[in-house]
Amino acid sequence: MADKTYNAYAAAQKQFDDVADLIKLEEPLRVLLRQPSREYHFTIPVKMDDGSTKIFKGFRVQHNDARGPAKGGIRFHPEETIDTIRALSMWMTWKCAVVDIPLGGGKGGIVCDPREMTPGEQERLCRGYIRQLSRNMGPVQDVPAPDVMTNAQHMLWMLDEYEVIHNGRYPGAITGKPVGMGGSLGRTEATGYGVIYTLREALKALGIDIASTTASLQGFGNVAEHAARLYTALGGKIIAVSCWDNKDKKAYTYRKADGLDIERLAAIKDPFGTIDKEKALDLGCELLPGEDWIAQDVDIILPCALENQLTVDNFNKISKQVKVICEGANGPTAPECDELIKKSNIFLVPDFLCNAGGVTCSYFEQVQCNMNYFWPREEVLEKLDYKMTNAFAGVYRLAQEKGLYMRDAAYVIAINRVAEAVRLRGWV
């Protein structure tokens, strides 16, 4: 369950403030960049299958668009909050800047649980969301994409509603669509693959052969599954996977000392990342409490679920063997943990660099939609690898030159790029 005392927006602002002090950012830019440019709050009435009407709360936040249209996913989650959306929109600004793509930061969310809704109810919810937002989004304003518990089908319903309202075809208005309907090959794998591209580069920098490493993974949704697939394809071994069990309303860790078979695990999970517990036990998995993923004797831990998963309360459970933390999720590490990571001499690949593969491939999808010409999967992934590797190299080089923590180095690059765009536009 979420920690009710944790505020993702406060965490995002603290990270920003620390680096703004470091680079001596001028006051007007601090005030502008530490809060969103625009926010939309609205209600969405939906006719449910039983004939009743349910009212859902929706949000869209546009943090900054100095470098290009706002870009960011739409989350469906029963515990969604406006502060989480604010934080994620802010992180999206830095994410687009650190990988140097011409987009800004945005994020959206609906307080709902799609696991408890029929496909028809989900479709009506998606269309209702776009009806509320259609005047304030589009290919040159703000481009949504999938996020937690949303998928390509949700995006296509949203795009169809947008195109009906605006009486035309605007495939670049939303990304993460199905292939054949304006979606890009490679987009499904992109975020997870991007995580492993940066992990691969981190291990090279540390002089460690990826094939000799073991890892523990939190989450088994789209990002985690594809990260696991590529990591094991490169020779790594995943010892443990933790994920939420919607039936039992709790998390479990599935462990196998000689390595989990990711293909077989993926075959027994539902669309929301829940692994079938009984089938996992049949595969020989050991069943442990959900939080035990963090305590495994592995070389790498990959938090790929939700924010605030590495905290001062559980950090001491991390094995002395761990050499790398690769943040596949957004904001998985509480700000107070950064000092503990530094003292532990663990190499960190920060979230908005590590998981930028998704937005990078969304950018590629926009480019392809605008050209009405689509690249083969191999070309998409080759371009993604190039972008992620270059971004990692720039952050790592600055960290080495200035003696900076990797998160701080990534922030320095991102904030400077956005600040320069704001100055050049004459906003400050």
Which of the listed ranges 43-47, 148-152, 281-285 does the model predict with the highest average pLDDT?
Answer: 43-47
> pLDDT by residue (tens digit) across 66-100?
999 999 999 999 999 999 999 999 999 999 999 99
Q: State yes or no: pLDDT of 124 exceeds 80.
A: yes
Contact by Cβ (8 Å): 420, 18: no
Cα–Cα–Cα angle for 97, 385, 345, rounded to 5 degrees: 70
What is the distance between the alpha carbons of residues 347 and 48, in angstroms, rounded to a whole number? 48
Contact by Cβ (8 Å): 28, 428: yes
Minimum mean pLDDT among 19-33, 60-74, 269-283: which range? 269-283
Phi, psi of 188 (to 5 degrees): -60, -40
Other C-beta atoms within 10 Å of 257: how many? Answer: 12
Residues with Cβ within 8 Å of 345's Cβ and at least 6 positions away in sequence, in order, are: none
> pLDDT by residue (tens digit) across 205-216?
999 999 999 999
Of 107, 237, 269, 387, the catalytic one is 107
Report DSSP letters for 124-192, one per residue: HHHHHHHHHHGGG-BTTTEEEEE-TT--HHHHHHHHHHHHHHHTS--GGGS-SPPBTTTBPTTHHHHHH
Contact by Cβ (8 Å): 171, 159: yes
Contact by Cβ (8 Å): 293, 240: yes
Residue that is written with structure tokens 């002090």 in the block: 21
Phi, psi of 345 (to 5 degrees): 60, 35
> pLDDT by residue (tens digit) across 196-251?
999 999 999 999 999 999 999 999 999 999 999 999 999 999 999 999 888 898 99
Identity at 95, one-letter amino acid code: K
Task: Determine how β-strand 53-64 pairs with β-strand 70-77.
Answer: unpaired
* Domain range list for the chain: 34-171, 189-349
Phi, psi of 292 (to 5 degrees): -75, -10
> pLDDT by residue (tens digit) across 70-79?
999 999 999 9
Identity at 94, one-letter amino acid code: W
Contact by Cβ (8 Å): 97, 17: no
Residues of the chain with pLDDT > 90: what percent? 94
Q: What is the DSSP code (8-state) at residue 4?
A: T
Give the model's pLDDT for residue 427.
97
Minimum mean pLDDT among 135-139, 146-150, 224-228: which range? 146-150
pLDDT band (50, 70, 90) for residue 1: very low
Q: Does 34-171 match 189-349 in CATH topology?
A: yes
What is the distance between the alpha carbons of residues 214 and 194, in angstroms, rounded to a whole number? 18
Give the model's pLDDT for residue 3.
59
Residues 362-387 have a mean pLDDT of: 97
Q: State yes or no: pLDDT of 5 exceeds 90.
A: no
CATH superfamily name and code, 189-349: NAD(P)-binding Rossmann-like Domain (3.40.50.720)
- The alpha carbon of residue 63 and the mean position of all alpha carbons in its chain are separated, in whole angstroms, by 16
Is CATH 1.10.287.3510 the right assignment for the domain spanning 34-171?
no
Phi, psi of 350 (to 5 degrees): -70, 150
Task: Determine how β-strand 38-47 pairs with β-strand 70-77.
Answer: unpaired
Residue that is written with structure tokens 């830095």 in the block: 94
Sheet containing strand 347-349, edge to edge, reads: 286-289, 250-255, 237-245, 214-218, 300-303, 324-326, 347-349
Average pLDDT, the chain: 96
What is the distance between the alpha carbons of residues 156 and 362, in angstroms, rounded to a whole number? 14
Total-model pTM: 0.94
Question: By three-state DSSP, how is residue 260 classified?
Answer: coil
Is 107 marked active-site?
yes
